[in-house]
Amino acid sequence: MAKHLGFIGLGNMGRPIASRLIAAGYYLTVFDLRPESVAALTERGARAAASPAEVASAVETLLLSLPDPSIVREVALGRDGVIAGPKIKTVIDLSTTGARMAQEIGAALAAEGITTVDSPVSGGVAGAINGTLALMVACPRAIFADLEPMLKHLGRVFFVGERPGMGQTMKLANNLLSATALAATSEAIVFGVKSGLDAATMVDVINAGSGRNSASQDKFPKAILPRTFDSGFTTGLMYKDLTLCLEEAGAAGVPMSVANAVCELWRRAFEEIGAEKDFTTVVQLVERLAGVEVRG
């Protein structure tokens, strides 16, 4: 594939992903509403564009990394959107939009001869920086074979199917498990601390036993016990993903009683602690209700 790529969305995830592509030898044309984010990339050799349409007029392949479905739709299909670019042939969406939105955008772009690659990612900011993301890719196999060498610079690449939306379903299932692990582990550790146990000892025991999970192995030792709350993913984004998961499950006719309970905890964290807070601060909601604080 061509070494000239477009990149739209230079936020917490997009900026380090784009930086990795530059480091791998790709030349980027980029767009973001924040001048400082664009400047960080142009200083490394990228070219700034004035709109998504301008990016799509300069390259055949571009990547999107955007925070919510409505923004993805506007960037892809809106006035001065990607769809207006005469050169673009392939759009790789790294965002989390839900399957139905991915299908809607994919169909609209396909009508203009543009292929959508549904490729949400997992692994957080650290994964974006270190190139250890999990990429869940849905697109025609021939296109996947062409894109895989480039995507491997970003992390481990999984082909999950050929239809737009299949990557989104995989991502939402993954994030449901991540959110559930953090919610349940928060309740378990707060319960133990309120009963007199040491939080760090609890985490060690859990990680040596059958209760170990992504929260006990990663988020508690690195972000909660030291009270840094800096995993790199916000409460607002997790609440958005859980809401999307419930909507998609409802449309598929799948009951989600556990997911509903987990989403309710995140709704309260979203409203009482704040959308922009790190999602590990969900433990603070449980702490407030119990009247204790978890520390290492």
> Who's near 45: CB < 8 A, 6+ residues apart?
22, 27, 28
The catalytic position among 3, 89, 152, 171 is 171
Q: Which residue has the tokens 């936020």?
A: 11
Find the length of the chain: 296
> Who's near 259: CB < 8 A, 6+ residues apart?
176, 180, 242, 245, 246, 249
How far CA 256 is from CA of 144, 235, 251, 252, 267, in Å, comes to 32, 20, 12, 11, 16
Active site residue 171: yes
Tokens for 26?
């790709």
How far CA 28 is from CA of 10, 15, 85, in Å, comes to 12, 12, 16
How far CA 82 is from CA of 60, 76, 292, in Å, comes to 11, 5, 50
Active-site amino acid positions? 171
